Amino acid sequence: MSNISSVLEEKRLFPPAADFVGNARLDADSLAELKAAAQKDPSGFWAGLARRELAWQTPFTQVLDDSRAPNYAWFADGRTNASANCLDRHLGERGDKVAIRFEGEQGDTRNWTYRELHAEVCRLANGLKSLGVTKGDRVVIYMPHTPEAVIAMQACARIGALHSIVFGGFSAGALRDRIDDASARLVITADGGWRGGNIIELKKAVDEALSSGCKSIEKVVVFRRSGHEVAFDDSRDVWWHELVATQATACDPEWVEAEHPLFLLYTSGSTGKPKGIQHSTGGYLLGAHMTMQWVFDIRDDDVFWCTADVGWITGHTYVCYGPLSNGATILIYEGAPTVPDAGRFWKICQDQGVTIFYTAPTAIRALMKLGEQWPAKYDLSKLRLLGSVGEPINPEAWMWYHRVIGREKLPIVDTWWQTETGAVMMSPVPGATATKPGSCTQPLPGIFAEVVDEAGERVQGTEAGGYLVITQPWPSMLRTIWGDNERYIQTYWAQFKNRYYVAGDSTHRDADGYYWIMGRVDDVLNVSGHRLGTMEIESALVSHARVAEAAVVGRPHEVKGESVFAFVTCNGERPQGDEAEALIKELRAHVGKEIGALAKPDEIRFADNLPKTRSGKIMRRLLRSVAKGEQITQDVSTLENPGIVAQLQGKA
């Protein structure tokens, strides 16, 4: 990646601004104290925080249980409830404080206080109970990015049902597979969502998914958002507003064991089948709660805006659970960053008084391209902290963020973490850590990272490169893969004989102990901060009648980080000219239908066959070079048909 050489030459260092340090929750000394305490007694450190920071119905006496490692348990004999932590405990002091500020793409706004949010969550929780949903049931949420998505999550948590959110950009086919894998009992959706002035047909996709599977689904709850006409099956579908109309605004939380799963979230891996990452209640909440304080320095007067959709882990931890458990005010915006124009994000920051802004490098790069005149139009003086997540941020985008949005003084927290880690793992602490553009700096207190080589040995020295691993269990770690514990062990632990959690990223650690994430080491792409498995896209392509074989690789992309590049062989003659053009269009649409628009290949090339080694493995490294347009240096003499290289390059 061209990124790599540029980040490794990056030598700039930005110490935390003095006026920020003066008011920060953590300065360098208090951070050092936390790290030292965690170093001395990692599980005791977390236990102390869990007792002090979370509300427990039954206090725990057990802390870390590693007797079934690598399946770890935390605080197992304690009982708590995530929704009670996020809502009930704020009612006294913060009942009238705004919990959610909402703005729709068309300019509609609405606020919910903690008391109002609590009442809405209770009404829906009671409604779900009236439909027979009980503790342990799976509920799929397929919603637009509106406060009701958060209400749905909280309502599930309140009654001990596991939510499994499917991002609204995924297609009916992807939705069906996730519903079936989780054997979900109920779907919560909306008639439609808004994006780019268009209605996203969510209910229609649910109907389509349910017509081709999903036998476990008993009811579909439909929130009215877009207001357009949708098909309605009276025996199965229930309008949200009708369901909650007669429900009480109080609902006792179901006190669950700390290890009771709070949610599943499907994510891509190295195989064609997405995995249901299973998170716990107590440990997950502790990670979400503490990182809001350490990384985002959250305060009572903040307006916190994490732009991620609730369909991704970032939306779970930093739209819903982390901020609400701290009693913070969040902003939710449903819509595109460029509607009606490229100033929309900055206008929202101004109008809504946003103080902390957390987004993805792909958004920063896209907004950077649109020009400085857009942020210049708005008063961004309330902003006090900026964040980045989801992919490596290139120093150029970091510097733009720092200079144009951050007025050359706001701290930037580049947060490294994953769906699996539940909460931020490595990040600057804004009042304590000097930042370097492109580095997520160092692990947070209680998180122990290392760099290891192929053999799993720690790479010593001041300039280390290798696999990123986490050497100690932490409370917000995933517990397993839903229905497939063996895959959990194989994917995250087996590579180094269960000694470490293997993140799947490669990293470099510099002389100051700062980490620089280089990207995935497995067949996972990161397109606009969205994780996609190459195998998933390949199986979608192969499910088309014309396709015999497909190989998908990533190609560096200026805005998206990576783009999808597919090499395809066809049944019958290799298509050329107009026929090829038409088939490319068809295949892109096909992938959109199978997975979702986000997975559509940017480029598709046809060849008579794919380059393979003697053992039949596709030579992905060669394909990556071809996709990048690089000179081919690999030995291609062993290929069945060396002539195909020219075809792959689009030259024959």
Instruction: Give residues in contact with ligand PRX (CB under 6 A).
Output: 267, 313-314, 389-392, 414-419, 440, 503-505, 517, 519-520, 526, 531
Looking at the Cβ atoms of 120 and 391, the one nearer to ligand PRX is 391
Looking at the Cβ atoms of 257 and 505, the one nearer to ligand PRX is 505
User: In Å, how far from its chain's centre is CA 452?
Assistant: 25
For residue 403 the two structure tokens come to: 């200079």
Cα angle, residue 321 at apex, residues 317 and 324 outer, rounded to 5°: 130
- Smallest gap from Cβ 85 to ligand PRX, in A, equals 22
Terminal C-alpha separation, the chain: 27
For residue 648 the two structure tokens come to: 């792959």
- Smallest gap from Cβ 391 to ligand PRX, in A, equals 5
Q: Counting every residue, how long is the chain?
A: 652
Looking at the Cβ atoms of 114 and 417, the one nearer to ligand PRX is 417
- Smallest gap from Cβ 438 to ligand PRX, in A, equals 9
Other CB atoms within 10 A of residue 104 CB: 18
**CA atoms of 41 and 162, how far apart (whole Å):** 32
- Of 382, 390, 399, 336, whose CA–CA distance to 358 is shortest? 390
Looking at the Cβ atoms of 276 and 519, the one nearer to ligand PRX is 519
For residue 226 the two structure tokens come to: 């877009």
**CA atoms of 265 and 267, how far apart (whole Å):** 6
Q: Which residue has the tokens 């064991």?
A: 257
Peptide bond into 70 cis (omega under 30): yes
**CA atoms of 253 and 160, how far apart (whole Å):** 8
DSSP-derived secondary structure for 574-634: PP-HHHHHHHHHHHHHHHHHHTBGGG--SEEEE-SS--B-TTS-B-HHHHHHHHHTPPP-S
For residue 522 the two structure tokens come to: 């497995």
- Smallest gap from Cβ 427 to ligand PRX, in A, equals 8
Looking at the Cβ atoms of 14 and 416, the one nearer to ligand PRX is 416
**CA atoms of 438 and 397, how far apart (whole Å):** 9
CB-closest chain residue to ligand PRX? 419
Looking at the Cβ atoms of 515 and 565, the one nearer to ligand PRX is 515
Looking at the Cβ atoms of 281 and 418, the one nearer to ligand PRX is 418
- Smallest gap from Cβ 19 to ligand PRX, in A, equals 26
Q: What is the DSSP pairing of strand 449-452 with strand 464-470? A: antiparallel
- Smallest gap from Cβ 396 to ligand PRX, in A, equals 15
Give CA separation, 483 vs 183, 214, 532, in Å. 10, 17, 21
Other CB atoms within 10 A of residue 338 CB: 15
**CA atoms of 161 and 157, how far apart (whole Å):** 6
Looking at the Cβ atoms of 60 and 416, the one nearer to ligand PRX is 416
**CA atoms of 125 and 159, how far apart (whole Å):** 7
**Are residues 275 and 181 in contact, defined by beta-carbon separation less than 8 angstroms?**
no
- Smallest gap from Cβ 105 to ligand PRX, in A, equals 23
- Smallest gap from Cβ 389 to ligand PRX, in A, equals 5
Looking at the Cβ atoms of 388 and 569, the one nearer to ligand PRX is 388
- Smallest gap from Cβ 425 to ligand PRX, in A, equals 9
Looking at the Cβ atoms of 311 and 343, the one nearer to ligand PRX is 311
Return the SS3 of 341. Answer: coil
